Structure 1
Amino acid sequence: MLKSLQGKTVIVTGGSRGIGKGIALRFGEAGLNVLVVSRGQADADAVAAEIGPNASGFAADVSTEEGCRTMVEAAVARYGGVDVLCANAGIFPAAKLGDMTAADFDYVISANLRSTFLSVSAVLPAMTRAGSGRIIITSSITGPITGYPGWSHYGASKAGQLGFMRTAAIEFAPKRITVNAVMPGNIMTEGLEGNGPDYIASMEASVPLRRLGTPADIANAALFFASEEAAYITGQTIVVDGGQILPESLGALEAMG
């Protein structure tokens, strides 16, 4: 059993839907104060209301310095500090090379990679004052391990997060701040549900555990990284994908029986 995180404070960026919402709900369940950050105030407030009185919503664009600065100021004002950052905000529009514009590329890099840098930079002073901290980045298997047509900009941003994480982990170690990442595979979120049962079934068939992951699966890994038990782990990743990256071919899946 993990030691209690009751009373600690977490900021969850991109916390109003999908994986971010799952993380916010799980951390709230574990007794943390949760600042749910989203571009839309109403969306952030709705998730905070689900969590209960130890949570609140905050609207910010975390691809900007001002957005990150104000979200940290809000957490400090409301809860007294920041113990954990879940840098989860991100987007995944599709565009194949040849059609992708420089603006398309820059937009994804800004929303996914720049926002990670800015969020981490913004919480650093508060965590340094506290003498410890936990930073958990939501990366992906796409980019660092696998590829998918139309997502070269997304894959670059997710691989970039891991390069950033490793050096940040070294720089922050003397401050007792750890930096780790969760790498989701195919996760059942609102965006996938709209594609219909046939699409979902085809995705499940590519996963050895024969199901898609849930936001809670990712949230549980993030909660471990936030725990006291993970205090000696930094600069590391956990792949949460039901074994998706393991088969060397479709034949390997067919041979499962």
Structure 2
Amino acid sequence: MPKVHKFLVGEKVGMTQVFGPDGSLYGVTVVKVGPCRVAYTRTKEKDGYQAVCLGFGHKKDKSANAAEKGLAKKIGIQPIRHLREFRVNDLSGAEQGQVAGVERFAEGEYVDLQAISKGKGFAGGMKRYNFRGGPASHGASDRERAPGSLGSRRSLGRVLPGQRMAGHMGMDTVTVQKVKIIKIIPQEQLLLVNGGVPGAKGITLCVTSTVKKVPKPPVVVAGKKGKKDAAKPAAKKPAAK
């Protein structure tokens, strides 16, 4: 797979702490991102769009259906557990069965990570949307955590769609953007990224090169001094009397 295709599929291992090259201590999330296989490609002529599908992980034959077994037989591997498609502008160089690993990224690079967040179950309005609740005094004995009025009036006589209220919380597709890669361990196919990542341990992640603007490294020109480094003018001596 060409190196311009900077995307991988992996799973969240957990969190730990590491020291960066500058000596700073970082809280990092450990992500295992390989090896991934190119399961198949999508073309404009046949499918209407261009994409590369990567597979990550394996499962037993008895747990796979006929389609998964047929795809694995074409590639010559065990049935694939996770499949994810990534849209691309150019398919040249991408072929079925190719292997992609952590070497696609470098330390200090910024990536976007997408996963399904942790499920919180059925939650009230205060936990789900940060409602402040009702008064705790003046005769309000059971209104402390109530959502309040739903905004229904005589002219409508109904609750409008999208009204914020209690309901199922979590289990959403969440993307964190512009996350810095602190360290790469190529022997174990591990990425150590700065901060937290959505989802519980073992959740499937999609790692792509960030779409955000990244800070440019400072350019130091030899022979030029900044304002702080510029020589200060010598202090004037008092005139002789």
- Normalising by structure 1, report the TM-score: 0.20
- Normalising by structure 2, report the TM-score: 0.21
The structure in which a higher percent of residues are helix is 1
Q: Which has the larger radius of gyration?
A: 2
The structure in which a higher percent of residues are strand is 2
